[in-house]
Amino acid sequence: MYQKFYFEYPIDWLKDNKKQQIIFVQNIIKCCLELEVELTCIPVSFPSYGVKRLTPKDLLISFHSFENPKNVLSYKEAPINGLFSLDKTGYAGWSNIYLNLENHRYIIEKINIQEINKTLQHYRSQLLSGDSKHPQLEDSSPLPSDYILFPLQVRTDSVASHANLDMVQVLQAMSSFSRKYKKNVVVKIHPYCNSEVVKTIQFIETEHNPYFYNSNAHIIKLIENADKVLSCNSGASLEALILEKDVYCFGSSEWYEITNKIKNIDDLENIFTMPTKKELTLFQKQYLTYLLKYYWIKYDDMTSIKNTLINFKTSFKEFHHNHDLYSELTKNLLAKQIELTERQKKIEIIEKDFIYMQNILNYFRRRPWKVIKYYILSRINKLKKRK
């Protein structure tokens, strides 16, 4: 049995000083010590998220990683505040439940209605209190009474690699379908969006389509009032499921199985033509309950954290190697990989945005007054965020 753990802790979490994140990290360390294993802590920083780790000779508890060796356990915050993932294979489309659903199905289908009601009601109440993962602006701009909500994501986020479609392509297609069917679409740009292409195309579509809206309102408020919700694999789509909305997704995640799956541009038309499902199926409710109560772990649930580490620890035979240099090698490798990841992400977004930018420039050349309007709106949004 392994007697040594390496534990990566995120420097950003310590800087943010969010209570639940700090307690979760402390509880992992405490559980490791209670298991009487030797523990080495390794600081990691953005964008080590998603960077493949070295193969350690002992066990590694790795932050925000995926596609790792079998003796690496990945952890990260779940999309619902207070819950965390401890997953051998990773998160989103790399998660164990996505890759190996049949291994979980038996337990999922045994969950009874009493457990469903208690669990889902708890998390519905949490969401309806305004407790969402990312900071939200208070935008009171009027919205249509009936709309499809499309919350956008950061295009270079690691989970974007699981998208079936490019988000800008989807944005333009949704605008086209909203005109065709005369149905309202409300788009919410991600709080951390760093793509001028996304912002500009959203501005252009909103300017010329009376059925296309932009909103910075609180995501929970937008979900509550929506008829349907479309997302790639955003946590907002999970929040929408908990709030019993009809959800469509074009990217894989831990909850992709219980959404209406969008695999190509033509599938988007179904959002406008199919009747709205007013209630979740029993399996959807069981699946959500499983995710929220069993698959993810509450930040202060010492028993579940410790049991997960025990199972992880006892899964492998011990190797007898001298690997005192592992933590130093890991830090050096991650530093180089972080540099490479930053460059790759910049290249990736430049390549994606080049063609879109040509069209945007042509649009503004023909309508130079729109540049002023776009600039003013952008400044207003930035000032709101500072508040």
User: Between the CA of residue 116 and those of 108, 131, 240, 294, 297, what are the distances in Å?
Assistant: 11, 20, 16, 12, 17
Report the 10 Å Cβ neighbour count for 350: 10
Helices (H) and strands (E) in the chain, counts: 14, 12
Q: Using alpha carbons only, what angle is made at residue 330 by residues 329 and 331, rounded to the nearest 5 degrees?
A: 95
- Of 145, 250, 232, 147, the C-alpha closest to 190 is 232
User: Between the CA of residue 153 and those of 167, 191, 230, 270, what are the distances in Å?
Assistant: 8, 9, 12, 22
What does pLDDT average to over the chain? 86
Confidence of residue 254 (pLDDT cuts 50, 70, 90): very high
Name the more confident of 368 and 54: 368
Q: Is residue 103 within 8 Å of residue 96, measured between CB atoms?
A: yes
Residue 340: per-residue pLDDT:
66
Helix (H) / strand (E) element for 233: namely none
- Euclidean distance between CA atoms 211 and 186, whole angstroms: 8
Per-residue pLDDT reduced to its tens digit, 154-195: 877 778 778 899 888 999 999 999 999 999 999 998 777 777
- Of 48, 43, 38, 37, the C-alpha closest to 25 is 43
Q: Is residue 47 within 8 Å of residue 341, measured between CB atoms?
A: yes
Residue 332: per-residue pLDDT:
56
What is the total residue count of the chain? 387
pLDDT surpassing 70 at residue 322: no
Token readout for 59 is 């066990």
Q: Where are the alpha helices (DSSP H) in the chain?
A: 11-16, 19-34, 96-99, 102-110, 113-128, 167-181, 196-208, 219-225, 235-242, 269-273, 282-290, 302-313, 326-366, 368-386
pLDDT surpassing 60 at residue 111: yes
pLDDT surpassing 80 at residue 148: yes
Residue 317: per-residue pLDDT:
58
- Euclidean distance between CA atoms 214 and 378, whole angstroms: 12
Q: Percent of the chain having pLDDT more than 70?
A: 84
Location of structure tokens 């009493």: 114
Per-residue pLDDT reduced to its tens digit, 215-225: 989 999 999 99
131-289 is classed CATH 3.40.50.2000: yes
- Euclidean distance between CA atoms 24 and 7, whole angstroms: 13
Location of structure tokens 């479609």: 165
